[in-house]
Amino acid sequence: MRLGEILKESTVICDIKGGTKKKVVALLASRLKTAGLINDIDPVVRVVMERESLGSTGIGDGVAIPHGKLGGSGQIMCVFARSRKGVDFDAVDGKPVHIFFLVLAPEDSASLHLMALSRISRILRDPSFRRRLLEMPDDARVLYQSIVEEDEKY
């Protein structure tokens, strides 16, 4: 699986404005609804916040990968968002999060879910790529293409 298969240009947010963890999760879910991938954001927010209660998905270095498994979903879905201001997401390093990837998978797809998380983690391990993502213009097409191209290197 490649990130280009689960992330769409229509699910890229150039500068997310939420100031809290729950608000960011709701805005990420709203993008899935706007893109026609879900009908209701409430189940997404509930699933992701339940996962967050087990431990923050703010993995440090300005990155968070909130995720969960959604009943009734027939496909794995992904949203990328960037926050220029940064959000307190209870990251393990205590720093604000600027780069978000929301991953939602069907309940019965553990291997796809883990594969998506692994691919995202791999591209975000590179500090120069994280820096480039933050410096790019507010253009969803450019951000999307950069993420897909970076993923294709692996």
- The answer on pLDDT for 123 being more than 80 is yes
Question: Does the active-site annotation cover 113?
Answer: no
The model's pLDDT over 59-102, given as tens digits with 9 standing for 90+, comes to 999 999 999 998 877 789 999 999 999 999 999 999 999 999 99
Catalytic residue among 8, 21, 31, 67: 67
Identify the band that residue 113 occupies on the pLDDT scale cut at 50, 70 and 90.
Answer: confident
Rounded to whole angstroms, how far apart are CA atoms 118 and 13? 21
**Per-residue confidence (pLDDT) for residue 111, from 0 to 100:** 84
Q: Are 133 and 82 in contact (CB under 8 A)?
A: yes
Least confident of 30-44, 109-123, 138-152: 109-123
- List the domains of the chain with CATH numbers: 3-152 (3.40.930.10)
Two structure tokens written together for 29: 């879910």
For the entire predicted model, the pTM comes to 0.95
Is the confidence at residue 137, as pLDDT, over 90?
yes
Q: What is the C-alpha to C-alpha distance for residues 11 and 101, in angstroms, rounded to an integer?
A: 10
Q: Which two tokens stand for residue 136?
A: 């790019």
